[in-house]
Amino acid sequence: MTDTTRAVATLGGGCFWCLEPLFRDLRGVADVTCGYAGGHVERPTYDQVCGKRTGHAEVVQVAFDPAQISYADILRVFFTLHDPTTKDQQGADVGPQYRSIILTQDEAQAETAGVVMAEVEAARIWPARLTTEVAPLTTFWPAEPEHQRYYERNPWAGYCRVVIAPKVAKFRKAHAARLKAA
């Protein structure tokens, strides 16, 4: 759903626990919800998605104010948050649920995704070609409550300390000008 004060981007780039705190820090972002999309099973669970048979990717749904940050800029940030050149993998996380994917709300978002992907390829930010899938969003299924704000609620958990915390620190340094005021 898009209106003049709120738009939505649905993005997958590996573990949703990693993407969620990063997007939540961006100025103009109102909310971020972890969930599943791009598959064929209704109301999938985390265990089913991790079983690699539902077709779903772990995604975040980013609600944002387009007057403060554009969809194109959301995507430009997205391409700095994960490796969009590794098919079905982010670091040690392997499987189709970790694929790089942009699920579009409408044709305008699909066109913008194509433009931004061409920019990223032309800039040679990554050493290989993008494997990011672009597809229309059919259904977004919110993940179970324990997956929402996971990093915020579990900062001392092993995965959070070893994987997410360094990403958060790197993101905050690289995108300092785009962050919400403290």
- Catalytic choice (15, 18, 34, 160): 15
Strands 57-64 and 29-37: antiparallel
Is residue 15 annotated as part of the catalytic site, yes or no?
A: yes
- Please, which residues have CB within 8 angstroms of residue 101's CB and are 6 or more apart in sequence? 11, 12, 13, 37, 38, 57, 59, 132, 133, 134, 135
Q: By the 8 A CB rule, do 125 and 78 touch?
A: no
Closest Cα partner for 9 from 82, 106, 115, 142? Answer: 106
Catalytic residues: 15
